[in-house]
Every structure is written in structure tokens, then in C-alpha cells.
């Protein structure tokens, strides 16, 4: 195993020891042990930057199931490395923050950090896996671990609801994405992302291509909370704030962004990809920012703002796909949209992570996140106030913070769409800058609401559950670091240009690099009097006006009836699905074993009978059948008589004796057919079976059929006759139709040579079918334990009575 593979699974391995550490060292916060790993991994991935820039992508392969083309291939290029740095870097800060946020006396820290490490390892596996099946396995592990983290406070109904909602939606998308991956494999014969990208030109005309595209996007859209699947993200805010800061700002919700970026080289030349990614991204941006304005909970505002910002990045990736259709002068392409997407991905992680931590601090120190009760906190929480100012102004796209730079690049990219003559953009393309501008206005408004309603205005301590004060220094370190990065990346954005942004953007469009084109990233504050500049001025002016007049127009949010909301549709759909499933289940789950057997036998008759007719398998050949003698007829009559006796016996003892008679008669059949080994085996098994039945039935109530009359039931007779006829026809057809050579000769030839045995039956049971025999013994053992437990339970009840 390479160091790279170990780095991916290290969080999962550490998670195995966390419960032990938590139990053995109760006096020390478990987070201190956890913090070491993401910090070390962050340094490790940082050291890969010069190596990757000098030598190109790094690839390590660990064979897993090579016969199926499934290997654990770790692949680090610019895009994967960017996400790995976000996962480990933000992860380190979140763990540090959680040490001071979560009390070791009140919280189950052992479970919390196991879930967190599980998620961290799963995310690293997603972004660093080249094999689609391995990627999917890690993908679903992110859904499972996020379910556990969101529902960490499981005693709260809303936490359970949010966890279930996120699980249902993201797993649905994951299964759809798996279907897309399998279609890609069918078209290319490979699960390797690199190999599929190399074959993308050959499969673009395949009939399955568009279906694969849509299925992959379903997975990406559900995970990254794109409209209309965004409804799970606000409810996921019931998780502890460290979880929100980690999963919902920097990592999990960006997994869908990663998939779109990674799959762009395969699908980007399709107009369907452009319109779905770009269009849904813009719609999500507008819808998220519009709904964020009406929220009154700090984390709810941040949740919808996250939805909005994810839509912004998604729309940039969609527009960036158009770069495959045109080039700039001097053989140098400046893919503004793709570069802006990568840059805003970084910026969003910094300012949104700090804002989530600020929301957690406010909640922790005041006891509430309701902005209607907050206000004037800058007086008592000056450091938190400063962090919030930096984060919210960056999110609003104001200078000199990093959010301003990527927002300007976003607006420029939307304006550039008007100059494209592809995908019918000459007509519909005008919607891109319009929607982008309107959504940016609402982004400005909710940013101002978040900041001013919390930290300015009248201080209202009487409305707060507890007396507020500044957070402890330990809780402030992480948001201060992120706020410092917001300023640093704003003032010196080109620190990231050649080391992080260019390699990541190049990874999204490798075809352009192969064609001799290159990214030349040079980010600056001033680009002249561009349309983006005037749009920004308009955003600030109109946004300020709408913010100051908010009470006058906020009533528009009540115009949409609640029953038409997506959340209501989801809830009603879930309720109806559950009730419908319950009704359908009650139709066949009657509690009667007879009814269940009836269903099984009817299905048996229908499916196998249909197969016999469909395949024209009614072939009966008796040319090689030995003649039936008197002994066979007599023994058959005995078996039939014993079978009828079991049904009509007046006591259980008689039924057990008749059942034993059937078994011993079968042993006589084996004797007639000259199979003494089978005779001995059958006698032993039958003797043991009869003894077990006697032991079991001895403790059951006596059977009294003396006053009962056997009732003839036509349904039972028809089903019984049907099963008998179908089984007989299958047996005759199987005997008459020899598709393959008999395996009997193989046993004859190899019993002595390969198994060194003289008893063929024993050799088959012990050597050739050793696992089968072992599992049969295990099943018998489990059954014996079950019977013993039932007997003991009945005896204990009798004693208690």
C-alpha cells in the first residue's frame, strides 16, 4: 500500500481506535487526538503541490478486483489536490473548533469523532479515486456518515427528520449516478475516469450517452443541493455547528461540484450538459438567495446562502464547458468561467466556514440563533463581530475581500455568454446575466441581514436565554484563521494562481491542455470600466435600497401557498408512500403461514410453468430409463401412504413415525440402486431428524383431531397438484435435456487422484463440496440452537406459571 492510499484510509483507521481512546482517557477531550491526523494530512498534501506541478499527476494503483476492472487507483491532479486540501485543511480547523464547542461531559464525543473521521476518509476517497466503482463506494459512505452526523442529536425530532431527508435524497441521487457509471462502462469497457475521458469523443454519439449524462448529474445535483433537490440542506442544519461548518460549506455539498468538474471533459461538448449544469445552477442561485432573505434563523440563512453559492459555482462550470467551442487570440485561452468556479470554490470555503462558526459562537454564547431576538452584539462580542463583518462582506461580494474578486469574475463570465453563438445562446443567453444580477442583489440583501440584524442595532439582553459574552479564545482560533484567509486571498489572490487554481482548472479541461493551450490566471481588482463593474455598482445600490425597505416588500414571501412548496410536496409524498406501502403490505402480510406458502407456490407454478412453455421445454425422453420393477412400485406406494398418514394422523407421534417411514423408504430406494454410502448417510440423517422431532414435539400441546373433520379445499388441491405437476415436468425435462455433460465422470476420475479418497460420496461431501457441507452444518447448528432456545423459553414460562 502506497503512502497516498494510506492517507486516504487513515481517517477510517483512526476512527476504529477513537472509542477506545475516548473510554480510556475520559479526562482529555477526544478532539485533541483527532486533530493530529487532518493536520498531518494537510501538510502531506501541501507537499504534493510542487511535485505535482513539476511531474504532473500522481497515480498509485492497488489491485482489488482486477478481473472486473475494479482497482483502488488513487489519482492526484490539480482538481483532486484542491479538494484534498479543503477536506483536510478545513477539517483541521473544524476539529479544533469542535474541541471548544462540544462539551466532553455532555456529548458522546466518541461517536461524534468516529462519524467525522468516517466522513473525512470517505470524502478523500471520492476526490482521489480514479475508478468509478471505488468512487461510488466512497460516495455512499459520505451519505451514510453525513446521515449519522446530521442526526447526532438523535433525541431531537428535527435532527432525525433532517438526517432521514438528506439520506433519502442523496442516496437516490447516488443510485442514479451509479447507473450512469455503469452505462459509461458499457460504452467504454472501463471504469477508469482517465480512460473514459480519452474515449469521450468516441462515445458521444452512443444512444446511451445522454442517459448516462443525466444520471450522473442527478447524483451531482442531489449531493450539491441543486434545485429542486436543495430541500434537504436547510433541514440538515439541525446538526451541531462543527458539522455544518465542515459538511455544508467546504466538503460534502461540494462533492457534487467535484463530480461535475471531473466529468466535464466527458460530457461538456453536449448542449444538454451546458443547459442542465448552467441552467440549473443559475436557477438554484436565484432560488437560494431569494429564500435566504426571509429566514430568521442564522443557520437557516447560511443554509440557503450555501444553496445559492453552490448554484453559482455550478453555473460557472456549465458556462465553462462552452470553452471547448472557442479559443482566444495568441493560442492562449483564459477560461474565465472555469477559473472563477475554482477560485470561488476556495473563497466560499473560507468565508462560509467562518460564518458557520460565527453562528455557532452566537448560539453558544447567547442561547439563540433567532435574529429577531439578537442585535447589538458588537458591544459584547467585538472579535466575533469582526469575523462576521469579513465573512458577510466577502459573501456579499464587496472589496477588498476574496468574494468580491470571484463574484466579479462570475459576472464577467455571465456577460461573456452573450458573445457565444452556440447552444442557441444568441437568444436565450440574455437570461444568464439577468438572473445572475438579480440573484446577486438578493445575495447582498441576505448578507446584510445576517450581519446587521445580529451585531448592530439595539442590544436586547432581556430577549436572550443567557447573558452573552465573547467566546473563549479556543473557539475563536478557527474562524479567525479563515477570516484572515479571506483577506489574504482578497489582497493577494495570485498566491493561489499558479500553485492551486491553474492546475485545478486545467484538470477540468485536459483536452485544451493537450491541444497546446494553457491557462494564464492573473487575478486583479481592477479590470477597467467593464459591464461587471457597473453590475456590481447596481447590486450595491439596489441591494441597499431593498434592505432598508425590507418590511415593505417582504410580504411577497407569503404569496406562495404552503401546500405548493417543495418541502410540503416531499412530506406529503413521503407520508403517502409510507401509508401506501403499509396498505399494500397488509394485503399479503396476513400472519398466516398457509397464506405465505400459497403465495410462494403460486409464484413457483406461474414462473416455472411459464418458463417451460416459453422455452418449449416439454421434452420427455425415456430411451435411457431403466424399467420400473415390483420393488420400486411397492416402495412408492409406501411413500404415498406415509405421506397421506402425516396429513390425516390423529396425533403428532403418528405423524413423526410416518415421516420417518418416508425417510427410511427412501434409504431402501438407494439400496435398490446400489448406493450403500447414500443408504448409510440417509439412515443416519433420518434417525437424527426423527429424534429431533420427538424432542421438539414432546414439549408441544397434544394434538386432538378425533373430533375434527378433514375439509376439502379446492384452492389447496389445485395448488398442490400444480406444484406436483410442474416439479415432475421439470424433473422429466431435465433428465431428457442434456445441455452439459454429466459431472459424475469428473468425480469418478478425480476422487482417488486429487482427493486421495476411496469413498466417492464422502469425498464429494468433504472435499469437492466442503464449503457447502460446512454451511449446511452451520445451518443445522443454528436451527438446533433455535429449537433449544424455544424449548427453554417454554419451560421457563411453565415454571413461572
Task: Determine which helix (DSSP H) or strand (DSSP E) holds 615, and give its type and residue range.
Answer: none
Give residue 22's pLDDT: 81
Here the cell at position 184 is 459509461
For residues 259 and 220, is the Cβ–Cβ distance under 8 A?
A: yes
- Ranking 64-68, 145-149, 357-361, 478-482 by mean pLDDT, the lowest is 64-68
pLDDT digits 0-9 by tens, 422-443: 777 777 888 999 999 999 999 9
Give residue 705's pLDDT: 55
Give residue 333's pLDDT: 35
φ/ψ of residue 625, rounded to 5: -95, 130
Judged against a pLDDT cut of 70, whether residue 531 lies above it is answered with yes
Residue of 286, 295, 337 whose CA lies nearest to 316 = 337
Here the cell at position 659 is 415421516
Mean pLDDT for the stretch of residues 342-369:
93
Sequence-distant (6+) residues with CB within 8 A of 695 are: 787, 791
The most confident of 506-520, 534-548, 593-607, by mean pLDDT: 534-548
pLDDT band at 801 (very low <50, low <70, confident <90, very high): low
Give residue 328's pLDDT: 45
For residues 377 and 468, is the Cβ–Cβ distance under 8 A?
A: yes
Q: Return d(Cα 276, Cα 423) in angstroms, integer.
A: 12
Residue of 410, 424, 185 whose CA lies nearest to 319 = 410
Q: Return d(Cα 531, Cα 62) in angstroms, integer.
A: 51
Judged against a pLDDT cut of 80, whether residue 89 lies above it is answered with yes
Mean pLDDT for the stretch of residues 42-57:
89
Give residue 1's pLDDT: 74
Query: What's the pTM?
Result: 0.81
Judged against a pLDDT cut of 60, whether residue 50 lies above it is answered with yes
Question: Radius of gyration of the chain from Cα atoms?
Answer: 35
The most confident of 349-353, 457-461, 627-631, by mean pLDDT: 349-353
SS3 9: helix
Query: Percentage of the chain with pLDDT > 90?
Result: 52
Give residue 673's pLDDT: 84
The most confident of 307-321, 590-604, 746-760, by mean pLDDT: 307-321
pLDDT digits 0-9 by tens, 311-329: 999 999 998 887 665 544 3
Distances (CA, A) of 322 to 400, 405, 453: 30, 22, 41
Distance separating the N- and C-terminal Cα atoms of the chain: 62
Residues linked to residue 60 through DSSP beta bridges, in sequence order: 74
By the 10 Å C-beta count (0-12 exposed, 13-18 middle, 19+ buried), 475 is classed as buried
Mean pLDDT for the stretch of residues 261-268:
91
Does residue 653 or residue 457 have the better pLDDT? 457
Distances (CA, A) of 437 to 419, 612, 770: 17, 66, 71
Amino acid at each position: 500500500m502506497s503512502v497516498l492510499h494510506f492517507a486516504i484510509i487513515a481517517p477510517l483507521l483512526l476512527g476504529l481506535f477513537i472509542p477506545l481512546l475516548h473510554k480510556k482517557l475520559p479526562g482529555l477531550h477526544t478532539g485533541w487526538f483527532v486533530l493530529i491526523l487532518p493536520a498531518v494530512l494537510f501538510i502531506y498534501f501541501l507537499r504534493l503541490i510542487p511535485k505535482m506541478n513539476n511531474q504532473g499527476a500522481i497515480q498509485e494503483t492497488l489491485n482489488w478486483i482486477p478481473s472486473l476492472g475494479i482497482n483502488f487507483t488513487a489519482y492526484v491532479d490539480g482538481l483532486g489536490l484542491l479538494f484534498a486540501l479543503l477536506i483536510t485543511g478545513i477539517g483541521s480547523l473544524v476539529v479544533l473548533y469542535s474541541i471548544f464547542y462540544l462539551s466532553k461531559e455532555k456529548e458522546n464525543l466518541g461517536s461524534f469523532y468516529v462519524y467525522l473521521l468516517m466522513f473525512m476518509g470517505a470524502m478523500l476517497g471520492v476526490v482521489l479515486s480514479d475508478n468509478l466503482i471505488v468512487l461510488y463506494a466512497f460516495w455512499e459512505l459520505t451519505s451514510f456518515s453525513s446521515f449519522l452526523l446530521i442526526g447526532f442529536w438523535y433525541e431531537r425530532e428535527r435532527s432525525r427528520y433532517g438526517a432521514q431527508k438528506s439520506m433519502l435524497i442523496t442516496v437516490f441521487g447516488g443510485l442514479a449516478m451509479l447507473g450512469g457509471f455503469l452505462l459509461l462502462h458499457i460504452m467504454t469497457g472501463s471504469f477508469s475516469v482517465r480512460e473514459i475521458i480519452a474515449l469521450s469523443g468516441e462515445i458521444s454519439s452512443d444512444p446511451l450517452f445522454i442517459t448516462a449524462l443525466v444520471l450522473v448529474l442527478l447524483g451531482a445535483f442531489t449531493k450539491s443541493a441543486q434545485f429542486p433537490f436543495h430541500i434537504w440542506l436547510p433541514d440538515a442544519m439541525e446538526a451541531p455547528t462543527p458539522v455544518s461548518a465542515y459538511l455544508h460549506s467546504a466538503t460534502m455539498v461540494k462533492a457534487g461540484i467535484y463530480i461535475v468538474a471531473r466529468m466535464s471533459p466527458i460530457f461538456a461538448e453536449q448542449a444538454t450538459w451546458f443547459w442542465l449544469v448552467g441552467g440549473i445552477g443559475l436557477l438554484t442561485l436565484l432560488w437560494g438567495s431569494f429564500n435566504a432573505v426571509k429566514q430568521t434563523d442564522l443557520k437557516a440563512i447560511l443554509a440557503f446562502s450555501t444553496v445559492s453559492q453552490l448554484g453559482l459555482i455550478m453555473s460557472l462550470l456549465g458556462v465553462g464547458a462552452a470553452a471547448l467551442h472557442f479559443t482566444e487570440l495568441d493560442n492562449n485561452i483564459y477560461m474565465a468561467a472555469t477559473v472563477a468556479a475554482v477560485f470561488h470554490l476556495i473563497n466560499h470555503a473560507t468565508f462560509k466556514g467562518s460564518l458557520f462558526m460565527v453562528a455557532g459562537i452566537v448560539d453558544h454564547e447567547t442561547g439563540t440563533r433567532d435574529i429577531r431576538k439578537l442585535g447589538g452584539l458588537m458591544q459584547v462580542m467585538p472579535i466575533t463581530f469582526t469575523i462576521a463583518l469579513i465573512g458577510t462582506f466577502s459573501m456579499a461580494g464587496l472589496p477588498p475581500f476574496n468574494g468580491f474578486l470571484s463574484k466579479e469574475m462570475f459576472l464577467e463570465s455571465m456577460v461573456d455568454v452573450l458573445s457565444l453563438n452556440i447552444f442557441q445562446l444568441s437568444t436565450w443567453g440574455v437570461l444568464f446575466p439577468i438572473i445572475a444580477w438579480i440573484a446577486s442583489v438578493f445575495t447582498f440583501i441576505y448578507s446584510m441581514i445576517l450581519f446587521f440584524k445580529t451585531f448592530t442595532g439595539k442590544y436586547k439582553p432581556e430577549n436572550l436565554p443567557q447573558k452573552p459574552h465573547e467566546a473563549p479564545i479556543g473557539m475563536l482560533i478557527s474562524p479567525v484563521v479563515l477570516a484572515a484567509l479571506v483577506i489574504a486571498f482578497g489582497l493577494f489572490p495570485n498566491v493561489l494562481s499558479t500553485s492551486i487554481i491553474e492546475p485545478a482548472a486545467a484538470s477540468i479541461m485536459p483536452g485544451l491542455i493537450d491541444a497546446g493551450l494553457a491557462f494564464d490566471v492573473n487575478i486583479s481588482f481592477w479590470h477597467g470600466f467593464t459591464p461587471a463593474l457597473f453590475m456590481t455598482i447596481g447590486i450595491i445600490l439596489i441591494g441597499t435600497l431593498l434592505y432598508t425597505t425590507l418590511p415593505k416588500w417582504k410580504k411577497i414571501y407569503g404569496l406562495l401557498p404552503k401546500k405548493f412548496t417543495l418541502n410540503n410536496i416531499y412530506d406529503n409524498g413521503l407520508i403517502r408512500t409510507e401509508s401506501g406501502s403499509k396498505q399494500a403490505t397488509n394485503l399479503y402480510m396476513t400472519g398466516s403461514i398457509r397464506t405465505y406458502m400459497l403465495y410462494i407456490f403460486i409464484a413457483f407454478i406461474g414462473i416455472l410453468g411459464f418458463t417451460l412453455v416459453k422455452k418449449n421445454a416439454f421434452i420427455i425422453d425415456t430411451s435411457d430409463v431403466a424399467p420400473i420393477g415390483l420393488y420400486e412400485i411397492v416402495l412408492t406406494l409406501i411413500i404415498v401412504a406415509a405421506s397421506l398418514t402425516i396429513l390425516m394422523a390423529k396425533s403428532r407421534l403418528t405423524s413423526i413415525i410416518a415421516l420417518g417411514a418416508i425417510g427410511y423408504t427412501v434409504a431402501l430406494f438407494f439400496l435398490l440402486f446400489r448406493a450403500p454410502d447414500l443408504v448409510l448417510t440417509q439412515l443416519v440423517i433420518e434417525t437424527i431428524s426423527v429424534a429431533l422431532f420427538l424432542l421438539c414435539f414432546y414439549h408441544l400441546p397434544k394434538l386432538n383431531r378425533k373430533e375434527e373433520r378433514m375439509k376439502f379445499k379446492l384452492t389447496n388441491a389445485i395448488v398442490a397438484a400444480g406444484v406436483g405437476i410442474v416439479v415432475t415436468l421439470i424433473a422429466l425435462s431435465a433428465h431428457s435435456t442434456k445441455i452439459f455433460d454429466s459431472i459424475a465422470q469428473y468425480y469418478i476420475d478425480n476422487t482417488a487422484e486429487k482427493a486421495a479418497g476411496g469413498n466417492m460420496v464422502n469425498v464429494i461431501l468433504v472435499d469437492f463440496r466442503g464449503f457447502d457441507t460446512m454451511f449446511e452444518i452451520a445451518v443445522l447448528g443454528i436451527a438446533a440452537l433455535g429449537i433449544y432456545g424455544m424449548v427453554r423459553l417454554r419451560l421457563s414460562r411453565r415454571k413461572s406459571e
